[in-house]
């Protein structure tokens, strides 16, 4: 895979000029050469030493959330789990909108997830890679026709530095949002997911993954079960397209690679837990042989042992 360096600030600005906003007051920010100045509150934002737009909050910001409580929520979505959402394991769509043949799949994505990528409606359609790290997804997003915007709280290879809890963009700006392994790093996922939805256009798609039984890593705050992420997304007002365990990433593999045997090559780490994984599968096979609901049991096993989950939703 070609490792393209992030564009310099003058290159991304023309594309973004209309949608950049002050993260503190949502005011329009104007490019004054050395700084971006908010026309609302007067805050000045700069360029990082790595040439990134630094639109992180400079002061504390008060955000208010209205949270609805519905005691019957559990009973309504149990039905949906069986009937609609859960694709076990998360599998490729029959009619993907974008053909990725011949393109290398970035390390944090798999072909099933790529099959849910939307195709850009027109040239210059903006997409946001939320928590983009070193912008590994740039190539596949550009292949789908999008103008790529990478945002991260601190990674030095991200195009824009910003806080997912106070996004520096106008409402209804993006046609597509990626949030790969991002939600578990939010201090307040209920606020962060509302921010993601706010900056999406109506009908825009969000594709993401979130840690479930992965061990603590890189300042992770809240790991989500499938019920957790389903509730979070529905509560924010999204329409759910799919939620399911992320590829071949069961808890034993996640634990082994990430914390039990760190620095060991991944293959070797996998081999060390393979016997236990085999016995676990065998035990459940024996169990399902005497039960009538083999498919339901296998779905439950996959969800209950997932290292992480994939979700696809629309605004
Ligand atoms: Zn401002």
Residue at 149 is within a domain: yes
pLDDT value of residue 15: 74
Question: Helical H runs in the chain?
Answer: 9-16, 73-80, 111-114, 138-143, 189-198, 226-235, 251-255, 266-289, 294-304
Residue at 13 is within a domain: yes
pLDDT value of residue 5: 56
State how beta strands 308-314 and 239-245 pair: antiparallel
Q: Which of 211, 152, 166 is nearest to 184 (CA)?
A: 211
Q: Give the Å distance between the CA of 40 and the centre of ligand 1.
A: 5
Q: Are 130 and 169 in contact (CB under 8 A)?
A: no
pLDDT value of residue 1: 45
**111's tokens:** 């072909």
Residue at 282 is within a domain: no
CA dist., res. 283 & res. 288, Å (int)? 9
Tens digit of each residue's pLDDT (9 = 90 or more) over 130-150: 999 999 999 999 999 999 999
**65's tokens:** 């959330």
For the sheet containing 239-245, what is the strand order? 29-31, 36-38, 44-47, 53-54, 160-161, 147-152, 126-130, 174-180, 200-211, 308-314, 239-245
Q: Give the Å distance between the CA of 28 and the centre of ligand 1.
A: 7
- Show the domain range for 187: 9-57+85-248+307-314
Q: Give the Å distance between the CA of 22 and the centre of ligand 1.
A: 5
Tens digit of each residue's pLDDT (9 = 90 or more) over 151-187: 999 999 999 999 999 999 999 999 999 999 999 999 9
Residue at 275 is within a domain: no
Q: Give the Å distance between the CA of 168 and the centre of ligand 1.
A: 10
Residue at 255 is within a domain: no
Weakly modelled stretches of the chain, pLDDT under 70: 1-13, 74-89, 292
CATH number of the domain enclosing 162? 3.40.50.150
Give the contacts of 219 (CB within 8 A, at least 6 positions apart). 185
């Amino acid at each position: 895979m070609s490792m393209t360096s992030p564009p310099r600030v003058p290159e991304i600005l023309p594309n973004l000029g209309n949608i950049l906003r002050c993260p503190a007051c949502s005011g329009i920010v104007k490019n004054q050469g050395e700084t971006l100045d908010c026309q609302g509150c007067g805050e000045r934002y700069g360029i990082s030493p790595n040439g990134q737009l630094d639109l992180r909050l400079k002061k504390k910001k008060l955000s208010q959330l209205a949270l609805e409580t519905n005691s019957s929520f559990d009973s309504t979505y149990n039905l949906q789990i069986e009937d609609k959402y859960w694709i076990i394991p998360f599998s490729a769509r029959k009619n993907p909108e974008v053909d990725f043949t011949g393109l290398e799949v970035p390390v944090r994505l798999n072909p099933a997830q790529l099959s849910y990528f939307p195709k850009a409606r027109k040239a210059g359609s903006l997409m946001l890679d939320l928590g983009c790290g070193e912008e590994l997804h740039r190539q596949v997003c550009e292949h789908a026709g999008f103008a790529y915007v990478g945002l991260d709280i601190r990674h030095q290879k991200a195009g824009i530095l910003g806080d997912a809890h106070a996004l520096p963009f106008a409402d209804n700006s993006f046609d597509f949002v990626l949030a790969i392994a991002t939600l578990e790093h939010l201090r307040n996922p209920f606020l962060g997911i509302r921010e993601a939805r706010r900056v999406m256009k109506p009908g825009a798609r969000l594709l993401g993954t979130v840690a479930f039984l992965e061990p603590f890593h890189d300042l992770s705050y809240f790991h989500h079960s499938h019920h957790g992420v389903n509730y979070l997304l529905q509560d924010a007002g999204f329409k759910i397209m799919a939620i399911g365990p992320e590829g071949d990433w069961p808890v034993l593999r996640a634990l082994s690679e990430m914390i039990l045997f760190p620095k060991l090559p991944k293959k070797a780490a996998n081999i060390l837990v393979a016997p236990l994984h085999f016995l676990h599968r065998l035990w459940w096979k024996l169990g399902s042989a005497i039960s009538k609901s083999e498919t339901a049991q296998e779905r439950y096993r996959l969800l209950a042992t997932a290292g992480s989950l994939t979700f696809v939703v629309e605004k």
